[in-house]
């Protein structure tokens, strides 16, 4: 049975003083609080919590005190005596599990969390629970927060005030405007991220620290929407997320959240994440998810045309395969034997390729020719590769020898004479960028006429030629299925068919070997 209000649990000198409404909720606390060998820490983030911190500590159940390894108060440079109070409690009450730390300057709500998580990670903890020092979340149910992680059922547990076990948020005193804002933002985040949480905006959370170690905190926010960024990253990296019902409590604590700014930050964070994943812009807080050359899925794109040229049973050689993203797409569509070649020492994913050859296509082809000696393929892919080479004709000529007699090469090159480039030159500009036609790693530039000549002089016959459209989804940071993107693609495709050399963004060639090159 839980210790009753006002009594002092055995082995501790801090009285347990739960709120009356939570006594039924802690009836099963003895079982739920079991650590089962896990090293559990409680992180209490505190700012100007002089009047509330003592009550928060007294509301932690004796079973939780007995099972957790440490309860750390991280004072975020409070302007009152929060730190002195916590230090005094530790000394006067003889609480060896209580540790008190103070930041020399205010790190912000997110910055304080990051410091706390790093603290527990460095000390080899398994689980951490985030608790607020202002008493807004019930310490009486700490065990319910970390129990699913102890049992191995989740990597993150979020408390939800929207679940009805405790009567719902309005009954707990949540202002109507906050409730409405919470529901609107949560609906938006679920739709944008493909999730199904009942609430994104509770600050009562528990984490598996072995999962948090795989989250890059470097450029994440120091303010309140840090909570949303961490959900985005956990979801992106496929960690298991669970929710548990928690009560809503609004007392006389001071709220430091600017509601309108917070909502704006949430929408901005989700937008920046999606644009980064699409490969449109690399935002620093999500930079680990940025793909410089993503597979383009919009109609009339390079990769759509290339996929049509490759049969399910074809043996494929991809020269300049990069991270293997396009080969991975081919694998998803059916069983194919794929050999990848790139300068990387090892492939990022061994499962993509049946064979991987590390070779610098700019550093001479002798090693590659030895590795591929006697091997023949139905399709040889050189997608967005030739423009990076000093001597593209050498690789093109060598590729003929790796093709079956009835095989084909699929080649794409950018069009330096695209309308946009002509307008840039008209304005006196020739500015390199991180991607696109003027990618700063491009060494050679092609027009439709010069690309055709290169193919013929390298011993090929052009069987199919397609002009692609610009990657509007990357430029605009929108989904390929967005109506605006689809309209732009359609108009651009019509123009590219009518005048390829002017409106074609790239050219895709399907090539057959000429008998007498």
Q: What is the CATH number of the domain that holds 460?
A: 3.40.50.150
- Same domain as 419, residue 480: yes
Residue 6 pLDDT > 60, yes or no? Answer: no
Residue labelled with tokens 């603290």 = 119
Measured distance CA(349)–CA(342) in Å, rounded: 13
The residue range of the domain holding 444 is 302-513
- Same domain as 372, residue 236: no
> Does 7 fall in a domain?
no
- Same domain as 485, residue 368: yes
- Same domain as 368, residue 491: yes
More confident residue, 208 or 482: 208
Residue labelled with tokens 């491009």 = 442
Residue 7 pLDDT > 70, yes or no? Answer: no
Residue 4 pLDDT > 90, yes or no? Answer: no
Q: 279-314: per-residue pLDDT in tens?
A: 778 899 999 998 777 888 888 999 999 999 999 899
Q: What is the CATH number of the domain that holds 247?
A: 3.90.550.10
- Taking each helix axis from N to C end, the angle separating 108-122 and 226-236, rounded to the nearest 10 degrees, works out to 50
Query: Given this model, what pLDDT does residue 252 score?
Result: 54
Residues 17/54, Cβ–Cβ less than 8 Å: no
What sign results for the dihedral spanned by CA atoms 252, 73, 223, 478? Answer: negative
Residue labelled with tokens 């409106």 = 503
Note the pTM of the prediction, 2 decimals.
0.75
- Same domain as 458, residue 318: yes
Give the pLDDT band (50/70/90) at residue 3. Answer: very low
Give phi and psi for 489, each to the nearest 5. -60, -45
Q: 380-435: per-residue pLDDT in tens?
A: 999 999 999 999 999 999 999 999 999 999 999 999 999 999 999 999 999 998 78
- Same domain as 358, residue 273: no
Q: 270-285: per-residue pLDDT in tens?
A: 999 998 888 778 899 9
More confident residue, 111 or 293: 111
- Same domain as 242, residue 367: no
- Same domain as 364, residue 450: yes
Q: How many domains does the chain have?
A: 2
> Does 401 fall in a domain?
yes
64: CB partners within 8 A, 6+ apart: 29, 33, 42, 139, 142, 143
> Does 18 fall in a domain?
no
Q: 142-176: per-residue pLDDT in tens?
A: 999 999 999 999 999 999 999 988 777 888 778 88
* 439 strand-pairing partners: 433
Cα–Cα nearest to 109, from 186, 178, 46: 46
184: CB partners within 8 A, 6+ apart: none
- % residues pLDDT > 90 (the chain): 74
> Does 377 fall in a domain?
yes
> Does 4 fall in a domain?
no
Q: Which helix (H) or strand (E) holds 235?
A: helix 226-236
> Does 14 fall in a domain?
no
Q: Is 113 helix (H, G, I), strand (E, B) or coil?
A: helix
The DSSP-derived string for 261-316 is HHHHHHHHHHHHHHHHHHTS---GGGGGG--SSPPP-STT-HHHHHHHHS-TT-EE
Q: 64-75: per-residue pLDDT in tens?
A: 999 999 999 999
Query: Given this model, what pLDDT does residue 292 score?
Result: 74
Measured distance CA(509)–CA(500) in Å, rounded: 13
Q: 224-274: per-residue pLDDT in tens?
A: 999 999 999 999 999 999 999 998 876 555 555 667 899 999 999 999 999
Give the pLDDT band (50/70/90) at residue 57. Answer: very high
Cα–Cα nearest to 278, from 470, 472, 469, 477: 477
Residue 377 pLDDT > 70, yes or no? Answer: yes
Mean pLDDT over each residue of the chain, to the nearest integer? 91
> Does 331 fall in a domain?
yes
């Amino acid at each position: 049975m839980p210790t009753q209000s006002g009594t002092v649990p055995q082995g501790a000198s801090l009285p347990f003083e739960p709120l009356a409404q939570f006594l039924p909720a802690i009836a099963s606390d003895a079982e739920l609080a079991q650590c089962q060998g896990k090293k559990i820490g409680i992180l209490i983030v505190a700012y100007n919590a002089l009047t509330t911190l003592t009550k928060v500590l007294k509301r932690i159940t004796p079973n939780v005190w007995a099972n957790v390894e440490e309860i750390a108060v991280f004072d975020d440079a409070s302007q009152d005596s929060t730190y002195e109070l916590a230090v005094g409690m530790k000394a006067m009450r003889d609480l060896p599990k209580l540790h008190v730390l103070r930041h020399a300057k205010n790190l912000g709500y997110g910055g304080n969390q990051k410091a706390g998580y790093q603290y527990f990670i460095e000390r080899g903890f398994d689980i951490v629970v985030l608790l607020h020092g202002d008493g807004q979340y019930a310490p009486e149910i700490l065990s319910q927060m970390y129990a699913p992680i102890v049992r191995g059922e989740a990597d993150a547990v979020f408390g939800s005030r929207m679940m009805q076990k405790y009567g719902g948020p309005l009954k707990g005193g949540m202002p109507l405007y906050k409730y409405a804002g919470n529901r609107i933002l949560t609906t938006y985040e679920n739709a944008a991220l493909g999730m199904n949480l009942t609430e994104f905006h509770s600050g009562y959370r528990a984490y598996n620290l072995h999962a948090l170690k795989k989250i890059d905190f470097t450029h994440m926010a120091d303010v309140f929407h840090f909570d949303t960024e961490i959900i985005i990253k956990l979801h992106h990296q496929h960690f298991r997320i669970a929710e548990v019902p928690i009560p809503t409590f609004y007392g006389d604590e001071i709220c430091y959240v600017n509601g309108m700014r917070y909502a704006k930050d949430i929408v901005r964070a989700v937008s920046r994440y999606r644009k980064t994943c699409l490969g449109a812009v690399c935002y620093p807080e999500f930079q680990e998810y940025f793909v410089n050359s993503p597979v383009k899925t919009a109609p009339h794109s390079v990769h759509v045309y290339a996929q049509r040229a490759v049969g399910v049973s074809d043996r494929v050689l991809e020269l300049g395969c990069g991270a293997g993203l396009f080969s991975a797409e081919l694998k998803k569509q059916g069983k194919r034997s794929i050999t990848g070649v790139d300068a990387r020492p090892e492939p990022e994913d061994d499962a993509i390729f049946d064979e991987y050859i590390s070779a610098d296509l700019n550093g001479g082809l002798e090693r590659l020719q030895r590795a591929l000696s006697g091997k023949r393929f139905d399709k040889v892919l050189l997608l967005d590769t030739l423009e990076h080479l000093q001597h593209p004709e050498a690789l093109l000529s060598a590729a003929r020898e790796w093709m079956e007699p009835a095989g084909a090469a699929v080649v794409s090159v950018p069009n330096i004479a695209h309308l946009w480039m002509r307008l840039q030159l008209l304005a006196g500009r020739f500015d390199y960028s991180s991607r696109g036609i003027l990618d700063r790693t491009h060494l050679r530039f092609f027009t439709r006429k010069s690309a055709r000549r290169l193919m013929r002089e390298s011993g090929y016959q052009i069987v199919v030629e397609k002009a692609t459209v610009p990657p509007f989804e990357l430029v605009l940071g929108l989904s390929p299925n967005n109506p605006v993107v689809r309209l732009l693609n359609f108009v651009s495709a019509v123009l590219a068919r009518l005048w390829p050399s002017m409106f074609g963004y790239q050219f895709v060639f399907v090539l057959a070997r000429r008998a007498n090159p």
